[in-house]
Amino acid sequence: MDGQINRRMGRQTDRQTDRQMDRQTDRQTDRQTDRWTDRQTDRQTDGQTDRQTDRQTDRQTDRQTDRQTDRQTDRQTDRQTDKQTDRQIKFIVHKLHYYTRYC
């Protein structure tokens, strides 16, 4: 009789140990899976944020560069136009002076 009781107790202990081990394994697997999922999500989020930031920075830089180029082009055009206008005015003034003096 004692042998049967010991065997039953042994089987019961084995089952309880197996259940505890299964639960512990399940918990560890869940934790590892959660950590892995968290890391993947973080990487994806970081990647998206980096790409968005890069796009915004590129746009802003492009706009600034375009504005600066436009300003420089406008200044150069204005200078050339001013020089041509000055030449034309000087020529006209010279002609007027000549005609008023000699004609």
pLDDT at site 2: 61
pLDDT at site 100: 85
Q: Which is more confidently placed, 13 or 66?
A: 66
pLDDT at site 59: 95
pLDDT at 35 over 70: yes
**Measured between alpha carbons, how far is residue 17 from residues 13, 27, 31, 59 in Å?**
6, 15, 21, 62
CA–CA separation, 28 vs 30, rounded Å? 5
> In angstroms, how far apart are the furthest CA atoms of the chain?
150
pLDDT tens per residue, range 56-85 = 999 999 999 999 999 999 999 999 999 999
pLDDT at site 6: 64
Per mean pLDDT, which range of 6-15, 32-41, 50-59, 75-84 is the poorest? 6-15
pLDDT at 53 over 90: yes
Where b means 16+ CB within 10 Å and e means fewer, 65-95 reads: eeeeeeeeeeeeeeeeeeeeeeeeeeeeeee
CA–CA separation, 21 vs 14, rounded Å? 10
pLDDT at site 69: 96
Give the closest residue to 18 by CA, choosing from 30, 8, 29, 10: 10
pLDDT at site 9: 67
